[in-house]
Structure 1
Amino acid sequence: MSILRKQPNVVIIGAGMAGISAARRLVDAGFRNVLILEAADRIGGRIHTVSFGDGNYPVELGANWIHAPNAQNSTFQIAEAIGALQPYRIYNSMSSRFLREDGVEIRREIIKEAFHIFNRVQDKVYRTIINERTKHNRIITLEPLLCEYLEKELQNVKADGSYIQDMQKALKAMMNFRRCYEGDELDRITWEKPEEEYNITEGGEVHIPGGYCQILNHIMKLIPKKSLMLKKEVVEILWNSEITEIKTRDGSTFKADHVIVTSSIGYLKKHHETLFNPKLPQINIDVLTSLELGRVNKIFLEFDQPILAPTYHSVAFTWDDTTIENIQNDWYKRIFGFEQIFTKNNTLLGWIAGDAAEYMETLSNDEIGKICAELLRKFLGNRNIPNPKAVLVSRWCSNPYVLGAYFHQTKRMIPGEQVIFSEPITTPSGGPVILFAGEALSNCCTHGARDSGIQQAERLIDLYMKKNIDGTF
């Protein structure tokens, strides 16, 4: 692209996937005055690759895999081009061995039938939730529909009592997995996507063995170092004139023609009243109130020797009862299970979601490790399993710059809210001053965030290309 006749100042708030992708697209298009302000001391946001456990490969505290790795997925394209996918592994949660509380494994034929039932029900819920909403004239969340449809399916299973009981346990475990996948308690979550968007994209879910940091570093490669400033927490955006001012906690002030805000939904929900001056339009505030950043965390356990291999590679916990009467006593019932990280021998990864994921952050790593070791002893039927030698736990809910895991819609839903939120906020003259980007605009915390950042960058590129062609500048 030719050099722009006018070089606008573009400030991007947040150096997560959306922010750095927007910056890269602008730089590639010839924008020279691009600045990223990041509150933390690192790039990545909810992508955080760290060293832990045995072996040379890292682990991911945040984003863990590429959803639907195919030619249409921009993140997968980068990972493939830079050779980041070796050794290659497609993730399949339902390959887990499902264990009861008495240490007995549920027979594989029961798990296979339960898996097919759960998939049918899940597919039906996603495809009919909008119709159910219309029928009942109220917002319907996932959990009541899932429970209703699963109960109907179970009535059609022809088997003895013990078979049904084991199947019910397996289905409860699958509900725990769904909580982790959707990002919160299922009675808090709804969606408004049309039926065709629920088609499962081919490709599964693929791990990046060397870490998502490789994708971040590749995107940053051509962004000038001066264009990134870390430890710059933005505290106020004054946008009521043609030139916007951005103030940071350390007293710095930056001027911008356009601001791309990529902060998490959780951060915006908490700070929007003081962050924007004047306040955001009411429709944007209403959408922020409606959207939610879910709660998901990871638990990494390192031992001196393999705990699951060679008999198991991953195990799912099938609780007799997943009801949580008291979060302090029962939080661990939201752990789906543990898997041996495929690039390591002695390190396990567990997932937990919802209220329990948030409560767990109040506990020490040592407490969490001891409880998880006791769960492994119980479900594996092996009292000789030691406590882990090291424990690492993500704490996304209490991270002050994130305040959650990944977004979902709620029963406060405003129809079309994602489209509403993706529209720029303009000055009286009509110029786009504030643009929002992030996973909330595209239903995915990794490649979706990247794509939304690029889309907002494209808006600015199109604007200035048109001005160049029209001879405005």
Structure 2
Amino acid sequence: MYVRKQPKVVIIGAGIAGISAARRLVDAEFKDVIILEAANRIGGRIHTVKFGDGDMPIEMGANWIHGPTVQNSTFQVAETIGALQPYRINNRMSARFMREDGTEIRREIVKEAVHIYNKVMDDVYRTLPRERIKNSRIVTMAPLIYECLDKEVKKLEQNEDYIEDMKRVLNAMLNYSRFHEGEELEKVTWEKDIEEYNVPDGGDVHIPGGYVQILNHLMKTVPKESLILQTEVVNINWENCENEQLKIKTKNGTTFTADHVIVTSSIGYLKKHCETLFKPLLPEIKIEVLNSMALGRVDKIFLEFDTAVLAPTYSSVAFAWDDTTIGGDSSKWYKRIFGFDQIFTKNKTILGWISGDGAEYMETLSDEEIGKTCVQLLRQFLGNKDIPNAKAVLVSRWCSNPFVLGSYFYQTKTMIPGEQKILSEPLTTTSGKPVVMFAGEALTNCCTHGARDSGIQQAEKVIDLYQGKSLEAKL
């Protein structure tokens, strides 16, 4: 009779999925847990940094907790550690919608336009699944949205000026949907009513002191020596793992061994490297699912000024463009900017949102050029030529980040709803032991709490294998 030794578990990626998996294993008294992180920091697409006036940080990546309810595991942690003070729920529709000539669109027009837009989006979410079933065709959101908006506007019995302003607000809302969905709407198809994509109700809550507080709390019980930064994994050899440990090779030449590996790399990274990352290759069905998934393109633009630019008059301004068409003209990248928000913990620092083709092209420009263009836009849309140049500019570049290659998951035309479950199923030995597992936000939904939950779920598969009877001696 012998007692099986505790397994060695290697977690690839120190985002919230990987950290949550490690925390769950450590809490279950697993002693041999290692996290390998390619970057020089923890967090993945959670990236809290110091920037701008005041002491509070800003978020380069994940910005809110979506759905502040007890069903949201991330919200539970934030509430437990007191990270939500001062508590603030984001209200996107409180924005002031500004014309290109620097004047503001009347609130009654904005209110009606937003009402129409929300109605159309609800109809589109319901129509997409029916289109699949009824007509055996896959459609993206764009044509349905454009068609439905056009019909609604034609119903209005208003003068030409009212209609033109209505169209401007709707153009702004299209940019809102592009950064909300994470991509150009011509690429996105969505089956919102299936379980994987449901987000808890309650709005979007901002964490004043930064998402990093949640990461640091989860890491408290994880031994410091368990985290190894700047260590990119280039190959996971799960061949002959029935009787041998897996071998994990890194770019710096180090090799680790493990009984189980939990992979939390982004979908963008897995898509690019899947043919070299695994030996033997992933099963063909997993590669097909992986190739059908995608990360969108969303970035942030932070501008700090010597004096307040938006506050106290504006909490948020939306750019109500006459036309948001970019086409193949990359010089019009700025037309994908929805607008700018006053960061509520700061007075002189604002945040702009950009998505899709505009975001990817913007990443090729210098911070100086981006800042200069954005200040020109603010002067134009706010009708104030005296707005000074930005004191400092900080821009996210998630599309070109080699360890991420995108922002957040969206459903493509080639993806079958729910098939990410196929990717989340572990690679097993012939006896059925899970040896390579997958976790991340795209395997559950596009939120940090989904990523956290998936990391915990994969850790629990390992725990279930070794607790109870699994820890008993084999005869």
How would you bin the TM-score normalised by the shorter chain? over 0.9
Aligned pair partner of 1:316 in 298, 315, 318:
318
Q: Which contiguous aligned blocks of 4+ residues in structure 1 show a shift greater than 4 angstroms?
A: 195-200, 469-473
Report if the CA contact (8 A) 1:90-1:207 is conserved: yes
Assess if the C-alpha contact under 8 Å between 1:293 and 1:407 holds in 2. Answer: yes
Q: 1:471 Cα deviation (Å)? A: 5.3
Q: AA paired with 2:46?
A: I
Give the Cα separation in 2 of the matches to 1:457 and 1:197.
Answer: 20
User: Which position in structure 2 is the counterpart of 1:160?
Assistant: 159
Once the two structures are superposed, what CA deviation does each residue of 1:79-115 show, in whole Å capped at 9, x if it has no partner? 1111111111111111100000011111001111111
Tell me, in whole angstroms, the C-alpha distance in 1 between the residues paired with 2:372 and 2:297.
Answer: 22
TM-score scaled by length of structure 1: 0.96
Q: Residues of 2 paired with 1:107 and 1:201: CA distance?
A: 33
Residue in structure 1 matched with residue 117 of structure 2 by the alignment = 118
Could you say which residue in structure 2 is the equivalent of 1:267? 269
Task: Determine if contact 1:126/1:198 at 8 Å carries over to the other structure.
Answer: no
Q: CA deviation at 1:198?
A: 7.0
What is the CA distance between 1:26 and its match in structure 2? 0.8
1:357 aligns to 2:359 (yes or no): yes
8 Å contact from structure 2 (residues 183, 297) kept in 1? yes
The aligned counterpart of 2:86 is 87
Are 2:206 and 1:226 equivalent residues in the alignment? no
Give the direction of change, closer, same or farther, for the CA distance of 1:195–1:281 in structure 2 (3 Å limit).
closer
Q: 1:156 to 1:351 in 2, by over 3 A?
A: same
Name the counterpart of 1:54: 53
For 2:205, the equivalent position in structure 1 comes to 206
User: For the residues of structure 1 that align with 2:198 and 2:293, how far apart are their CA atoms?
Assistant: 23
Q: Which whole-Å deviations, capped at 9, do the CAs of 1:357-405 have from their partners, x for residues lacking one? A: 0110000000000000000000001111111010000001111111111
Give the Å deviation of 1:279: 0.7
Which secondary structure state, in structure 1, belongs to the residue aligned with residue 217 of structure 2?
A: helix
1:15-414 mapped onto 2 (5 Å cutoff): 15-194=14-193, 201-242=200-241, 243-414=245-416
Counterpart Cα distance in 1 of 2:195 and 2:36? 38
DSSP-derived class of the 2:186 partner: helix
User: Which letter does structure 1 place at the counterpart of 2:434?
Assistant: P
TM-score by length of 2: 0.96
| Partner amino acid, structure 2, of 1:273 | E
| In structure 2, distance between residues paired with 1:148 and 1:325 | 19
Calculate the aligned-residue CA RMSD, in Å: 1.6
Higher deviation after alignment, 73-82 or 439-448: 439-448
Q: Distance in 2 between matches of 1:289 and 1:198?
A: 19
Deviation at 1:412, TM superposition (A): 1.4
Quote the Cα distance in structure 2 between the aligned partners of 1:390 and 1:76: 32
Equivalent AA in structure 2 for residue 393 of structure 1: V
Distance in structure 2 (CA, Å) of the matches to 1:34 and 1:472: 24
Secondary structure of the corresponding residue to residue 188 of structure 1: coil
The CA deviation string for residues 221-244 of structure 1, in whole angstroms up to 9 with x for no partner, is 001111111111101110112221
Count of aligned positions: 470
Residues of 2 paired with 1:200 and 1:26: CA distance? Answer: 26
**Cα distance, 1:147 vs. partner?**
1.3
Q: State the distance in 1 between where 2:422 and 2:414 align.
A: 15
Unaligned runs of 5+ residues in structure 2 are none
Q: Which residue does the alignment assign to 2:466?
A: 464
Unaligned stretches of 5+ residues in structure 1: none
